Amino acid sequence: MNDTTAQLRISTNRDELDLALIHDFLSREAYWSQGIPLAVVQRAIENSLCFGGYLEGKQVAFARVVSDYATFGYLADVFVIESCRGLGYAKAIVGAAMDEPRLQGLRRIMLMTRDAHPLYTGFGFTPLSKPGNAMEINRRDIYTTAGAP
């Protein structure tokens, strides 16, 4: 850990999360969740193990893991605010998630990424070993169409 990442405090305390910052990033900046309603972000946080990254008391990074804490986990919504990118904070928050005691011993941890493969391969993530076995329901425009949750 370098001096810059040493300044980042990571917490799993949901009470510390800056919901407005998280919603703003996910709904406006993240390519994977454009237009996501605040109520959906709140529900996602309530049902996930969340990691907040803080500098001088302000949240600058976020990640969450959806898990049964026994066999499976899904790493989602990893981000660092633009002004703090390139300082190792994404690596620090993903590292905190991978080191979390409640997530040890899981048989499979998955994620989806369009552009952060180098970050995740550093933690042992690889492309699907049998992509033909994977299936999905992908409602790409769910947050931008009428009647979104």
Burial of 41 (0-12, 13-18, 19+ CB in 10 A): buried
Are the beta carbons of 4 and 117 closer than 8 angstroms?
no
**CATH no., domain 3-133:** 3.40.630.30
The alpha carbon of 7 is separated from its chain's Cα centroid by a whole number of angstroms, namely: 20
Longest dimension (CA), the chain: 47
Mapped onto helix, strand or coil, the DSSP state of residue 91 is helix
Q: Which two tokens stand for residue 49?
A: 């193990």
| Overall pTM surpassing 0.75 (yes/no) | yes
Q: Smallest Cα–Cα separation from 140: which of 23, 32, 24?
A: 32
pLDDT band at 1 (very low <50, low <70, confident <90, very high): very low
> What residue ranges do the domains of the chain occupy?
3-133
Q: Which residues contact 96 (CB under 8 A, 6 or more apart)?
A: 10, 51, 63
pLDDT, tens digit, 9 for 90 and up, residues 72-126: 999 999 999 999 999 999 999 999 999 999 999 999 999 999 999 999 999 999 9
